[in-house]
Amino acid sequence: MLWPGTVVGAAAGYAIASIPGAMLGVLLGQALDRRLRLRTWGELGDRLKGKSGLRDEELLFVLLGRLAKCDGQVVAAHIQQARLEMRSLNLSDTAQRRAINAFNRGKAGGDQLRGPLLRLNQQANAAEGVLRACWRMVWADGRATPAERELVVTWGKWLGWSSAKVQGLGQDYEPKRQAPTRAGGAYQDAMRLLGVSPTTEPDQVKRAYRRLLSRHHPDKLEGSGATAAQVREATDRTRELHNAYNLIRTRRDFR
């Protein structure tokens, strides 16, 4: 792959001093590509416009912000999911602030993401972790739109994944489609978790969900001396509540 700084350096060097200049330009361009971590022309354009590059720890939350804003409106479920991702990573206060800034940066949609993702395509575990987090954000509001799916599939290709493999990964987070009356099904489990029934009014379902979320949210553990294991347990419990509420809401078609 010919990286942008290398190409520009070679062209500029050749224009100034023919072949010797081109060789020197290649060396300088390679140094520039490495220093600025440039992989695409879009990234070079961002640097020329004065935009800072994305750190690896910022990339995930830029992606999540882009997905949350994909269909025009960021809802509370998107914000909640972003906070759960921060919790699951056990970020420090400083890192959380960077993550929040990155999420907002993603909502603005101004970053070129191909280059940063290409840098991850040789790190299988990191790439899968990013894609799983993206699918969790896609399904945070209980539905996956064509635009959201297209974004994740595109990002997956840049990470070296096939479209089918990316889509298959997304099925792990899709609300199950069992019939509501199926004993032991996900829908029944969701109702048991929230303590509601098939005839409970939507407003009461929402109140039950919010009450349990307030009781179990990992934020309640701040300043309490809780262990990392307790924080993870609270995060997992909150995610279960969130998924249960989304499943009930999807099956009964209310917002």
The whole-angstrom separation of Cα 210 and Cα 245 is 10
36/25 Cα distance (integer angstroms): 16
Confidence of residue 93 (pLDDT cuts 50, 70, 90): confident
- Integer distance in angstroms from the first to the last C-alpha of the chain? 48
**100 pLDDT above the threshold of 50:** yes
pTM across the whole model: 0.58
Give the whole-number percent of the chain exceeding pLDDT 90.
25
CB 169 within 8 A of CB 135: yes
192 touches 245 (CB < 8 A): no
Arithmetic mean of pLDDT, 82-91? 86
Of 39, 174, 185, the closest CA to residue 112 belongs to 39
pLDDT the model gives residue 57: 74
Quick check: 154 and 122 in contact, CB under 8 A?
A: no
Give the mean model confidence (pLDDT) for residues 186-194.
87
pLDDT in tens, 136-149: 999 888 888 999 99
Give the other-Cβ count within 10 Å of 210's Cβ.
12
Token pair 């989304």 in the structure block, residue: 246
| Proportion of the chain in helix, strand, coil states, percent, rounded to 5 | 70, 0, 30
